[in-house]
Amino acid sequence: MRIFCFIFLFFFVSCERNAITGRRQLNLFPEADLQKQALTEYRSFLSKNKVIPVGTSKQAEMVKRVGLRISEAITKYYTQKGLSNELVGYNWEFNLVNSVEINAWCMPGGKVVVYSGLLDVTKNEDALAVVLGHEITHAVAHHGNERLSQAFIAQGIQVAGDAFTKNNKETNTVFNAVFMPGTQLGVLLPNSRNHELEADHFGIIFAAMAGYDPRESIPFWKRMDSQNNNKMPEWLATHPSNEKRIQKLNENMDEALMFYKSK
């Protein structure tokens, strides 16, 4: 029992309030360490994939242009709020790689990759800005740190529970059969979906702050929905349904448009 009390106390004191979202989150790992690891993985990724040079491609130029505008808007936003320290270590880079995959991501420290297949769905700069705003939000909101921390705690509880029940085979079997599936479905997957909705929310705000129309997020997600032929129940998925995303984006659109119309 003391082990569980220690884990609970550790969880409680490790939670901190995110400077932008205002939500309390579990971040166990130093941001500087994650940025260092991300840089290593980023360089390794670029060395193994075909990067499309900016000077040879209008699409690569567009990715860099949109990315820089959003990063400049975010930096200004954080500075105005007295939160410049939140972006320490962020040295923004934006690269387009040749791949049919419909994807993009941003690592801690501001290392961003867009797959060329995504541009067939974004269609225009405004929609691309929505995607980049979303991916950058994941990084600046420390979603990666939070997911890693949650998985670390879940693994710790499983090890402790397994040790605590090991002398009772029946209890141990029930614990292992219930805990990890319950944690996955009841905690980890719902939190992952919440991260996506949070990134959608602030992503359109950051895009609007950079001068891009956040309303392009709606047709973009409708196009994304048409690409998805293997839909699964939302409660089993890491991402919310596209219908749910569109609903939430519409709910947050007035807020985003305030930033867009003020440009």
Q: Is beta strand 93-97 parallel, antiparallel or unpaired with respect to 111-115? A: parallel
**Tokens read off for 119:** 């541009």
Relative orientation angle of helices 169-183 and 143-165, to the nearest 10 degrees: 170
For 106, other C-beta atoms within 10 Å of its C-beta total 27
Contacts of 194 by beta carbon, 8 Å cutoff, 6+ apart: none
Neighbours of 22 (CB within 10 A): 7
Active site residue 170: no
Q: What is the DSSP letter of 210?
A: T
CA end-to-end span of the chain: 56
Point out the catalytic residue in the list 86, 93, 135, 146. Answer: 135
For residue 118, how many other CB atoms are within 10 A of its CB?
A: 20
Closest CA to 132 of 92, 98, 165: 92
The answer to whether 118 touches 205, Cβ cutoff 8 Å, is no
Question: Which residues are tagged catalytic?
Answer: 135
